[in-house]
């Protein structure tokens, strides 16, 4: 069951196209999902399947043109795609903020860390310079950066990768947003730092009841943080389920492939099997295969899969899958995601 409240964010039929010299690229092709207050939604898939473009489309951070965004992105009941630039600007950082993948390049090298946190606060919280600087130091303390007072006066090159990502989290949380879009927040960090950053995000999320859309290709991160999971493939959502169920009983062959390719210590010794992989790569959005986009890589594909796009099958109240394998065996009704 979905939480009973109204969704904080409802993405409906989102399409993001890029008009390039080689033709139109459908990076996001009809994506629907909802995020409820305080929950963590995992958005998973391989590189190039449209996860990041989805997040960038929500905050309209893509350059238009070449990008063209269509559909609905309702945040607290208001469609962001229908708002003017000024209203969107007020949502950015205030209502929805973002954490980026590359802490090394996402901070401005010529501005002090404290100022980079404070400038957003001044815009959204109407603070003076002095108040915002003090606020920035408090935020750095909150993400457990030692001696935050002097650290706030330093430039990003004095910070390590993990510290930069903490500073980024401090920046994202500084205006107490209701939603954070975290685009691969731990991918560029080494494993021990990853664990620390994830733990920190969990704690802060609890403290402020912030909802998170966690974009990652790392299912370990999903298992630890997310309550629900949306699996994307080639610009479309292929499966949506609560996190426990997706690990226990993945229904889409792609999800099964992703889960099968996680190395488990000792598995080969037990079963004698090598680590599984999904053969091939995500197709370019410009030459998406007909029918189910996954069929060329799918070991269970039917004849139907290569000609007809699969319907979305609602399995239970909170589980959907886009696959012909689930359609044939009974009269489950087709539906939309969400």
Instruction: Give contact residues for other proteins (rule: CB under 8 A).
Output: 59, 61, 89-94, 97-98, 100, 102, 105-111, 119-120, 123-124, 155, 157, 168, 171
User: Measured from the CB of residue 154, what is the shortest distance to other proteins in angstroms?
Assistant: 9
User: Measured from the CB of residue 97, what is the shortest distance to other proteins in angstroms?
Assistant: 7
Q: What is the DSSP letter of 39?
A: -
Question: CA–CA separation, 77 vs 10, rounded Å?
Answer: 8
Question: Which of 109/266 has CB closer to other proteins?
Answer: 109
Question: Which of 101/216 has CB closer to other proteins?
Answer: 101
Tokens of 8: 């904080």
Question: CA–CA separation, 206 vs 126, rounded Å?
Answer: 26
User: Measured from the CB of residue 111, what is the shortest distance to other proteins in angstroms?
Assistant: 7
Measured N-to-C along each axis, helices 113-125 and 129-142 cross at an angle, to the nearest 10 degrees, of 120
Answer whether 316's CB lies under 8 Å from 337's CB. Answer: no
Alpha helices in 113-252 (DSSP H): 113-125, 129-142, 148-151, 161-173, 191-208, 219-225, 243-248
Question: Which of 76/224 has CB closer to other proteins?
Answer: 76
Answer whether 176's CB lies under 8 Å from 208's CB. Answer: yes
Question: Which of 90/144 has CB closer to other proteins?
Answer: 90
User: Measured from the CB of residue 306, what is the shortest distance to other proteins in angstroms?
Assistant: 39
Tokens of 25: 């690229």
Question: CA–CA separation, 249 vs 1, rounded Å?
Answer: 17
User: Measured from the CB of residue 168, what is the shortest distance to other proteins in angstroms?
Assistant: 8
Question: Which of 100/337 has CB closer to other proteins?
Answer: 100
């Amino acid at each position: 069951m979905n939480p009973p409240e109204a969704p904080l964010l409802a993405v409906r039929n989102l399409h993001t196209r890029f008009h390039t010299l080689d033709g139109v690229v459908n990076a996001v092709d009809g994506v629907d999902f909802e995020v409820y207050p305080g929950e963590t939604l995992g958005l998973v898939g391989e590189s190039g399947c449209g996860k990041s473009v989805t997040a960038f489309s929500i905050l309209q951070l893509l350059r238009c043109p070449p990008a063209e965004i269509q559909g609905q992105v309702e945040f607290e009941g208001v469609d962001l795609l229908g708002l003017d630039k000024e209203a969107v600007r007020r949502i950015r950082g205030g209502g929805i903020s973002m954490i980026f993948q590359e802490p090394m390049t996402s901070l401005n090298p010529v501005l002090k860390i404290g100022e980079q946190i404070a400038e957003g606060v001044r815009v959204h919280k109407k603070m003076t310079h002095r108040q915002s600087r003090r606020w920035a130091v408090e935020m750095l303390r909150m993400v457990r950066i030692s001696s935050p007072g002097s650290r706030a006066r330093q430039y990003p090159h004095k910070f390590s990768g993990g510290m930069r990502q903490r500073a980024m989290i401090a920046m994202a949380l500084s205006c107490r947003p209701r939603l954070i879009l975290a685009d691969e927040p731990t991918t560029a960090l080494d494993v021990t730092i990853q664990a620390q950053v994830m733990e920190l995000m969990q704690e802060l999320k609890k403290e402020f009841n912030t909802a998170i859309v966690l974009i990652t290709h790392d299912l370990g991160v999903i298992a630890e943080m997310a309550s629900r999971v949306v699996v994307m493939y080639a610009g479309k959502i292929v499966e949506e389920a609560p996190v426990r169920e997706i690990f226990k009983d993945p229904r889409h062959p792609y999800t099964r492939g992703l889960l099968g390719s996680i190395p488990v210590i000792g598995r080969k010794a037990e079963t004698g099997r090598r680590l599984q992989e999904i053969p091939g790569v995500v197709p370019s959005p410009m030459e998406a295969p007909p029918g189910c986009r996954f069929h060329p890589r799918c070991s269970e594909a039917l004849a139907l899969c290569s000609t007809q796009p699969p319907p979305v099958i609602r399995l239970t109240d909170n589980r959907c899958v886009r696959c012909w394998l689930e359609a044939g065996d009974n009269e489950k009704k087709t539906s939309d995601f969400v």
